[in-house]
Amino acid sequence: MQDYFADLHIHLGRTASGKPVKITASNKLTLEAVLEEARFKKGLDMVGVIDCQVPEVLIGLQNRIASGELVELVDGGVRMGDLTLILGAEIEIYDENCQGLIHALCYMKTVENMVEFSNWLSKRMKNVTLSTQRVYESGVAIQREVNRLGGLFVPAHVFTPFKSLYGKGVKNSLSEVFDPDMIDAIELGLSADTSMARRLNELDRYAFLSNSDAHSVGKIAREYQKVRMKEPSFIELCLDLKEVDGRGVVANYGLSPQLGKYYTTVCEKCFTSLTQGEDNCGSCDHSKFVKGVSERIEELADNQEPLRNRPPYIHQVPLDFIPGVGPKTLMKLRGGFGTEMGILHEASHDELVEVVGEKVASLIVAARSGRFAFKAGGGGRFGKVSDE
């Protein structure tokens, strides 16, 4: 068994020909850019690109496999050098059992499986060429199709206030919309961590994933996990999520939830934090608030002690959040240590000092354990790091 770094939720902004995929993602976020950034700059071993249901993306993959640029693995996934691509699709679910919209990630073993899933979606989706589109089918029916194709089904960023399972999707339980037996893992999202999510007893049976949900190249691997498996492939990922024979998530790395965009409840208009019991904002008198993840989890939390032992969730601040680490400094760091995984996990304090000086080196070491003061985020605005 070996340990690998994986970020399994990365968007595409454009196809190779320049057509839009994820409308809110960067135009520079092409499949080629994702693979290059993940392999050579971030130092990841496995990535999940979750817009692979787009026909033009699939054609591009097929052409690159035919040319030998990419290799489709027997055990699933596509390999470029030492990087494995897992094919995924993010979809939007709203059926008669939903209270609000729910996003979910569906991963497939092969290009052929994803082509079949794309064809199935195209009959139930208005525009299969765009990311995260509404599927006009029940949640359970979608799960059954993913299961039939041998895929993985993972509810995405499950606590965010909008378009998520617990945000507004269900009133109390995932079983209101989904078959619990056909969920393979739970993605936490940027405003939650393991200590928060494990307070829901019904999640005890699932592995927790921490992914970047990257909408630009630089945001790849702002959250990720270390996974233990024989090799980075789809079949090994399936076994990993079930913790078969020593496999499993070894550690989650992510933002402190306070740095996420939806940690605290804030005024919808001016982003002032809510004081408990207030009906109107104390700053602008506005009457609508965006409920924070921390408050929503308090509403859902069980009193039972969780049974499952969880790997550590390491509150690691991404390099571009650290005061003093701009593009030039980041270039110096990459020049000295190769990839961001090397900077964050391998470089010693003394080695960092030689490249970027004492102050920035100390901040990077502090970032490895999240030892910063934060101003909490909410209402769609990220929190902020203090270097005091």
Neighbours of 107 (CB within 10 A): 29
What is the pLDDT, as a whole number, of residue 259? 73
Q: What percent of the chain has pLDDT over 90?
A: 54
- Whether residue 202 is found in the same domain as residue 85: yes
- Whether residue 26 is found in the same domain as residue 174: yes
- Whether residue 242 is found in the same domain as residue 351: no
- Terminus-to-terminus CA distance in the chain, angstroms? 41
Q: In the chain, which residues have pLDDT < 50?
A: none
- Whether residue 169 is found in the same domain as residue 68: yes
- Whether residue 204 is found in the same domain as residue 89: yes
59-65 long-range Cβ contacts below 8 angstroms, 24+ apart: 60/15, 60/16, 60/31, 61/31, 61/87, 61/111, 62/111, 65/111
300 within a domain of the structure (yes/no): no
What is the pLDDT, as a whole number, of residue 271? 61
Residue spans of beta strands (DSSP E) within 174-243: 185-187, 207-209, 224-229
375 within a domain of the structure (yes/no): no
- Domain end, chosen from 228, 255, 282, is at 255
164 within a domain of the structure (yes/no): yes
Number of domains in the chain: 2
* H and E: helices and strands count for the chain: 11, 17
- Whether residue 249 is found in the same domain as residue 331: no
- Whether residue 246 is found in the same domain as residue 359: no
- Whether residue 333 is found in the same domain as residue 196: no
Q: Which pLDDT tens digit goes with each residue over 164-216?
A: 999 888 899 999 999 999 999 999 988 889 988 999 999 999 999 999 999 99
334 within a domain of the structure (yes/no): yes
- Whether residue 6 is found in the same domain as residue 128: yes
- Domain end, chosen from 227, 255, 283, is at 255
- Whether residue 179 is found in the same domain as residue 323: no
Place of tokens 């409308």: 23
117 within a domain of the structure (yes/no): yes
Residues 6+ apart with CB under 8 A from 275: 282
306 within a domain of the structure (yes/no): no
What is the pLDDT, as a whole number, of residue 370? 60
Per the structure, the complete domain to which residue 341 belongs is given by 319-369
- Whether residue 95 is found in the same domain as residue 234: yes
What is the pLDDT, as a whole number, of residue 362? 83
304 within a domain of the structure (yes/no): no
Place of tokens 């454009």: 14
Q: Are 98 and 177 in contact (CB under 8 A)?
A: yes
Characterize 197-230 residue by residue with b for buried, 16 or more Cβ atoms within 10 angstroms of its Cβ, and e for exposed: bbbbeebeebbbbbbbbbbbbbbbbbbbbbbbbe
Residue 343: which CATH number? 1.10.150.20
Output phi, psi for 320, to 5 deg: -75, -5
Residue 107: which CATH number? 3.20.20.140
- The pTM assigned to this predicted structure is 0.88
- Whether residue 331 is found in the same domain as residue 220: no
Tell me the one-letter amino acid at 242.
K
- Token representation of residue 42: 């971030």
